[in-house]
C-alpha cells in the first residue's frame, strides 16, 4: 500500500497532532507523517513530533509582518520539499488565505470543536453551554476559503453533563477529537468515506462517531 505523505500544521502543544502520529504507527494506516510545521518556534508540539521521529520545523509568521500570503508561501515550499500530499491542521491558529486554500484544495483538512454548521469560529464550548445544548461535538472537514465552512468528513458527539464548565467540556471533547481525527484523515487518504459509525466509551464518556448528517 502506498501511504499518503502527510504534513501537519500546529501552533501549540499538538495533542491532535500526537493522536495522528500515534495512529500512523499502525502499518495499516494509509497516511505517513513526514513533516510537522508550526508558526511559533516555541510550540511544544515540535519536540513531541521529533520524539516520534518526524521532522519538525518552525517558520515564525511574525517575521512576515502583515503579509500572510508570503508566510504561507514559505510554509508551502517546505511542505512540497518534503513531498507532502495531504495537509492536516491540528490547532493551527491562523486563518489561511484563499491562495493557500486553493493550492491545497481537496487535500487540506481541519478539526473544529463543534458539530458544524453549529458554532463556527471561536468560543464553541461557551456557546454550547449558553445555548443549553444536551450534546456537544467536533467535526473534521475539508478546508475552504470560508472559515469552518468546508464539507464535513465525519463528526463525533458527547453528552453535556450537568455542571459542565467550558474547561471540563473542552477536556472531555478533546478525547473525542483524538478518536475522530485519525479515522477521518485515513478516509481522506484512502479516498473514501468514514467507514465506521461507532460508539466508544472513554473514561465513562460515550463518544458517538458518525458520517456527516
Tell me which of 3.40.50.170, 3.20.20.70, 1.20.120.640, 1.10.260.30 is the CATH number of domain 110-213.
3.40.50.170
Q: In CATH terms, are 1-104 and 110-213 the same topology?
A: yes
Q: Hey, where are the domains in the chain?
A: 1-104, 110-213
Per-residue pLDDT tens digits for 123-171: 999 999 999 999 999 999 999 988 899 999 999 999 999 999 999 999 9
Catalytic site residue from 112, 125, 141, 178: 112
112 in catalytic set = yes
Residue holding cell 456527516? 212
| pTM score of the predicted model | 0.95
Over 90: is that where the pLDDT of 211 sits?
A: no
14 contacts 40 by C-beta, under 8 angstroms: no
Three cell numbers, residue 51:
520524539
The CATH class that applies to domain 1-104 reads alpha beta
Per-residue pLDDT tens digits for 61-108: 999 999 999 999 999 999 999 999 999 999 999 999 999 999 999 999
Amino acid at each position: 500500500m502506498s501511504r499518503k505523505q502527510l504534513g501537519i500544521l500546529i501552533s501549540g502543544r499538538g495533542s491532535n497532532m500526537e493522536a495522528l502520529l500515534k495512529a500512523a504507527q499502525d502499518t495499516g494506516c494509509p497516511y505517513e507523517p513526514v513533516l510537522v510545521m508550526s508558526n511559533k518556534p516555541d510550540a511544544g508540539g515540535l519536540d513531541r513530533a521529533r520524539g516520534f521521529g518526524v521532522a519538525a520545523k518552525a517558520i515564525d509568521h511574525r517575521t512576515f509582518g502583515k503579509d500572510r500570503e508570503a508566510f504561507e508561501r514559505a510554509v508551502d515550499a517546505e511542505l512540497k520539499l518534503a513531498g507532502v500530499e495531504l495537509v492536516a491542521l491540528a490547532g493551527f491558529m491562523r486563518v489561511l488565505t484563499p491562495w493557500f486554500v486553493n493550492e491545497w484544495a481537496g487535500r487540506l483538512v481541519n478539526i473544529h470543536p463543534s458539530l458544524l454548521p453549529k458554532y463556527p469560529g471561536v468560543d464553541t464550548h461557551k456557546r454550547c453551554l449558553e445555548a443549553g445544548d444536551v450534546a456537544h461535538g467536533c467535526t473534521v472537514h475539508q478546508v475552504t476559503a470560508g472559515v469552518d465552512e468546508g464539507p464535513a468528513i465525519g463528526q463525533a458527539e458527547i453528552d453535556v453533563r450537568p455542571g459542565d464548565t467550558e474547561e471540563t467540556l473542552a477536556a472531555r471533547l478533546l478525547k473525542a477529537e483524538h478518536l475522530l481525527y485519525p479515522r477521518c484523515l485515513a478516509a481522506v487518504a484512502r479516498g473514501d468515506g468514514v467507514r465506521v459509525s461507532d460508539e466508544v466509551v472513554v473514561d465513562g464518556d460515550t463518544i458517538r462517531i458518525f458520517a456527516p448528517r
